[in-house]
């Protein structure tokens, strides 16, 4: 699973819907990229952590924002298998997820497509 989070507010129901998708789909790895930070409340961290823990989904959190980077630390305190990375460390973030070699270019292309919307 790949997500791109943009700056600004969101609603808890949207985070819950995303968590429900994580639970319903065959997801084992999650690359979450937050451009210029994201509003991640304790409720949203718990919603996401519960889904990730329930399915044992490994997370790579990628951001340049120091505050949002703290999100990864908080997720690890909740027991999530998470690594925190900057955008310049994207290759390390993908490696943390053990993405098969034949899918790495596809992951990068999809992230590029999603980031163009930003």
Using alpha carbons, list the distances in angstroms from residue 77 to 14, 19, 47, 53, 85. Answer: 23, 19, 14, 12, 17
> In sequence order, which ranges of 26-100 are alpha helices (DSSP H)?
42-55, 66-77, 90-96
Beta strands across the sheet bearing 82-85: 2-5, 29-34, 58-63, 82-85
pLDDT one-digit tens code per residue, 51-64: 999 999 999 999 88
pLDDT one-digit tens code per residue, 12-33: 888 899 999 999 999 999 999 9
pLDDT band at 37 (very low <50, low <70, confident <90, very high): low
pLDDT one-digit tens code per residue, 98-118: 999 999 999 999 998 988 876
Per the model's pLDDT, the better-predicted residue between 27 and 11 turns out to be 27
């Amino acid at each position: 699973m790949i997500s791109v989070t943009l700056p600004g507010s969101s609603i808890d129901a949207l985070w819950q819907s995303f968590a429900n998708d994580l639970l319903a789909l065959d997801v084992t790895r999650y690359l979450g990229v937050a451009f210029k930070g994201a509003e991640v409340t304790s409720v949203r961290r718990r919603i996401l952590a519960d889904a990730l823990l329930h399915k044992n989904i490994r997370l790579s959190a990628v951001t340049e924002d120091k505050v949002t980077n703290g999100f990864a630390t908080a997720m690890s305190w909740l027991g999530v298998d998470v690594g925190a990375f900057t955008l310049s460390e994207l290759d390390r973030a993908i490696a943390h997820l053990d993405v098969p070699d034949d899918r790495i270019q596809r992951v990068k292309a999809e992230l590029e497509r999603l980031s163009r919307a930003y």
